[in-house]
Chains A and B, each alone.
Chain A
Amino acid sequence: MSDDIKVDKVFDLKGLPCPMPVVKVSKGIKEVEIGQVIEAQSTDPGALTDFPAWARTSGNEILKTEQEDDVIKFYIKRNA
């Protein structure tokens, strides 16, 4: 976990291919309040372009993206 970001909810989306990561995150982000942050973990390389596209469209904000081995972690702040 990133030291400087307080995560309110974690979503393990490892092993899920397109379109599941964005489908799950678009539903999952509604489980936290506006202003709170979720962490989404994905092993789908397409997520690197898909999550930013989803965030721009839905009006949410990716605070940080981390990559460890095959796992990509997105820290997403709910703005909408």
Chain B
Amino acid sequence: MDMQNIETQFTEIKSQLAALDKKTVEDKLSMVVFSGDLDKIIAAFVIATGAVAMGMDAVMFFTFWGTPVLRDAKKRVGGKDTFGKMFGTMLPKGMGQVKLSKMNMGGMGTAMMKSLMKKKNVASLEQFLEMAEELGVRIFICEMTMDLMGFKREEMIDYNNLTFCGVAKFLEEAANSKIQLFI
């Protein structure tokens, strides 16, 4: 076999290895946060922050009812159409307005749960978000939901690792994640 031949084969193997590398599964958790309920969001953040503690990367993709949870209660935006205003008013604006999926009882259940969580030292949603940011949990927000519900980027939370994206970006992450969850 001559040098030329060996070189060609070497290049071939190298490109095959590179392709294989892209398919390697990483120590990563990719999560779809579809729900907008207090209990489910708390669970999502417990798992995401726990994953980072276990040495994994964590990505949370907020879509549909999960999206309004990431609105900043302090921010005001104008210029919305009728449906945008409707969604804006009817859906929780920020983490403080998120309710339990069960036993809400007109807000009483949620208030009780929050005070119980405080008593038992369980972090609040706001604290979980802060912790997630500090730990480097990446948050993706579904661009389609933003558009559908008439949310504007300017009304969303300030967060270090925030990306507005579509499903392909999430799937790229999920494809090489060891764990994928839908909450």
- B135 CB to closest chain A CB (Å) equals 7
In contact, B53 and A54 (Cβ under 8 angstroms): yes
> Which of the candidate stretches A4-12, A20-28, A33-41, A67-75 sits at the interface with the other chain?
A20-28
In the complex, chain A residues whose CB is within 8 Å of the CB of B49: 19, 23
What 0/1 readout, one digit per residue, does chain A (43-80) give for beta carbons within 8 Å of chain B? 00000000001100110000000000000000000000
Contact of A19 among B50, B55, B120, B121 (CB under 8 A): B50
Complexed CA–CA distance, A52 and B46 (Å) = 18
- A26-B54, A57-B54, A58-B54 known; 17 new pairs, CB 8 Å cut-off, are A15-B121, A17-B120, A17-B121, A18-B46, A18-B50, A19-B49, A20-B121, A20-B123, A22-B53, A22-B54, A23-B50, A23-B135, A26-B53, A53-B54, A54-B53, A57-B55, A58-B55
Give the 9 A-B residue pairs with the shortest CB-CB distance, closest first.
A19-B50, A26-B53, A22-B53, A23-B53, A57-B54, A58-B55, A19-B46, A15-B121, A17-B122
16 A-B residue pairs with CB within 8 Å: A17-B120, A17-B122, A18-B50, A19-B46, A19-B50, A20-B123, A22-B50, A23-B49, A23-B53, A23-B131, A23-B135, A26-B52, A57-B54, A57-B55, A58-B54, A58-B55
